[in-house]
Amino acid sequence: MVMNNNLARELEIDVPLRSPEAPKESPVHMPAPRKAGITRIEKLLVVSVSIVVFALMTFYISQEIMISTLNRTLQDKTVTIANEQNVNENLSQEIQELSRYDRVYEIAKKAGLTMNEANIRNVSK
């Protein structure tokens, strides 16, 4: 029977059964995410940038208003100059018509004046 010792024996070993649940891990302490608030410097920066943008917009609008006012004034002056030039041209034409030689000679005759060649001078512009 000594040979029987070489045979495999069935051993009864208590093996703990594993449950299908995963083993519980110890919780890792993580700090709660903190919402990043707006700092005083950021607030100051936002306020100062807003003030600068508002000032620039106000300056731009005032410049545009001034430019449009000046353009309107320029157009009014141009129209006035054109009207005055038109009046001047009309008056020059009227002077030309009134200073015709035959008309002047006729008026002189009616006034009883005579033509004296010694008193005539030629005047040019």
Show the tokens assigned to 10: 């069935």
Give the CA dihedral 89, 92, 98, 99, nearest 10 degrees. -150
Separation of alpha carbons 46 and 39, rounded Å: 11
43-80 burial, b at 16+ Cβ within 10 Å, e below that, comes to: eeeeeeeeeeeeeeeeeeeeeeeeeeeeeeeeeeeeee
Show the tokens assigned to 19: 């449950």
Looking at residue 85, its pLDDT comes to 97
As to burial, measured by CB atoms within 10 angstroms (0-12 exposed, 13-18 middle, 19+ buried), residue 36 is exposed
Show the tokens assigned to 24: 């519980």
Helices (H), the chain: 40-98, 101-110
Tokens 């005055």, residue located: 84
**Residuewise pLDDT in 10s, the chain (125 residues):** 455 565 566 666 666 666 556 556 777 777 777 777 888 999 999 999 999 999 999 999 999 999 999 999 999 999 999 999 999 999 999 999 998 888 988 998 899 888 777 777 777 76
DSSP state of 7: S
